[in-house]
Amino acid sequence: MKIDRRQFFKVMAAGGAVAVGASPVQARPCKTLPPDAIGILYDANLCIGCKACEVACKVANDMPMSGDGAIDQAYGVQDAWDGDDDLNGRTMNKIKAYVAEGSRTDLDDPDACFIKRSCMHCIDPDCVSACPVSALTKDPFTGIVSYNPDACIGCRYCQLACPFNIPKFQYDKTFPQIVKCQLCAPRIAEGEIPACCDACPTGASLFGRVEDLRAEGHRRLAMQPGERVEFPLNQLGGKTRAAEAQKYHPHLYGETESGGTQYLMVAGVPFEQLGMPPVGDESRARLSETLQHSLYKGMVAPGLLLGGLVYAAYQHTKEDREDQEDRQNRPEQEHGDD
């Protein structure tokens, strides 16, 4: 009996360690922009849809072309044109065109517009909060949200969580990965700028510090249509080019969306029409974490509950244990086959 009891306390201690193991985490306040936050300002009014950014992105990230697009199939050639029409397991960056109803081919239509889709690098990313194994992390200084395939288990909860539907998954691969823009982190580490901004001939993709990009975005929103203005090329503080300002829809997309993003956008048409989803101004991660952490704060509630449950179970299984004692104490012949 004594051994049993000692054994029991061992089990209790181990169980307690498991229960307390998940250390207490407080419900947290809104996250703010990291100190050296960098990002991209995409200006749809400057974009000419040349897709140089897409090609540069594929080269920089060593991603394959789609290879089975309509033109390829029609002419029996390979890799003549990158035929994918959305982000996917081999595309981190995509230019899409929006053309107003009734003018399907006229890109000069005042309502026609390009839109560039890629990871928004949220200030409070839902994907980072959702990932059980920290495969997605946000750099504390640059704010780049990057992906670590060595941690990833492929549960795809990040895809479910992302309000912008950005992380993509290689459904066609035996050993798949999550694919998303990581703001060319290796290039930035070498002092370069993201490939898409580097390749953009018009300055539509503009690299810079997020705070400066926000100011630049607001400058553009305040421009008078028709006036000649200087637009920075590739990155803030570098070369510029003069162009005529077009009408802007008065909204700096990404300033508040989902708690703010480091990828900002301005355009001539409302963003709903460009297919940007209806995200609120607060990140869902904050709500989800606050709820979860108030339930499990310091594991106090589960700990107390466990104590109560074990006590109840102990009380109500007494007969079970005595039953067994009785059977053991009965004459040997009943258990002769042991």
Partner 1 sequence: MTEAFRPLGGKLFTRHFQFMGVLVLIAGYFLIRRFIFGIGDVSNLSDGFPWGLWITYDVVTGTAIACGGYAMALLVYVFNRGQFHPMIRAALLTSVFGYTLAGASIVVDVGRYWQLYNVFLPQYINLNSVMLEVALCVTLYTLVLWIEFSPAILEAMKANRLLRFLRHILFFFIGVGILLPTMHQSSLGSLLLIAGYKVHDLWQTTIIPLLFLITAITMGYGIVVFESLYASVHLGRKLETPLLSKISAIIPWLLIAYLVLRIGDLFLSGQIRAIAGPGPEPYLFLAEVALFVFAIVTLMDQYHRTRPTILFWSSLAVVLGGALYRFNAFMIAFDPGPGWHYFPAVGEMSITLGIVAFEIMAYLFFVKKTPILAAGH
CB of 124 to partner 1, least distance (A): 11
Q: Which of 155, 157, 154, 135 has the alpha carbon at shortest distance from 145?
A: 135
Of 251 and 293, which CB lies nearer to partner 1 in the complex structure?
293
Residues in the chain: 338
Q: Which of 175, 189, 190, 224 binds partner 1 (CB under 8 A)?
A: 175
- Give the 3-state secondary structure of residue 147: strand
137: Cα within 13 Å, side-chain hemisphere: 13
Contact range with partner 1 by CB under 8 A, out of 40-48, 106-114, 129-137, 241-249: 129-137
Binding mask 17-36 for partner 1 (x = CB under 8 A): -x---xx-x-----------
**Neighbouring-strand partners of residue 208:** 39
> Is residue 256 involved in binding partner 1 (CB under 8 A)?
no
CB of 332 to partner 1, least distance (A): 12
Q: Report 26-85 residues binding partner 1 (CB under 8 A).
A: none
Contacts (Cβ under 8 Å, ≥6 apart) of 331: none
CB of 239 to partner 1, least distance (A): 37
Q: Report 189-218 residues binding partner 1 (CB under 8 A).
A: none
In angstroms, the CA 261 to CA 270 distance is 18
Of 219 and 327, which CB lies nearer to partner 1 in the complex structure?
327
- Using CB atoms within 10 Å of the CB of residue 244, give its burial: 0 to 12 exposed, 13 to 18 middle, 19+ buried: exposed
Contacts (Cβ under 8 Å, ≥6 apart) of 280: 258
Q: Which of 130, 181, 266, 267 binds partner 1 (CB under 8 A)?
A: 130
In angstroms, the CA 151 to CA 157 distance is 14
> Is residue 103 involved in binding partner 1 (CB under 8 A)?
no
Q: Which of 218, 241, 321, 330 binds partner 1 (CB under 8 A)?
A: 321
Q: Which of 31, 51, 116, 168 binds partner 1 (CB under 8 A)?
A: 168
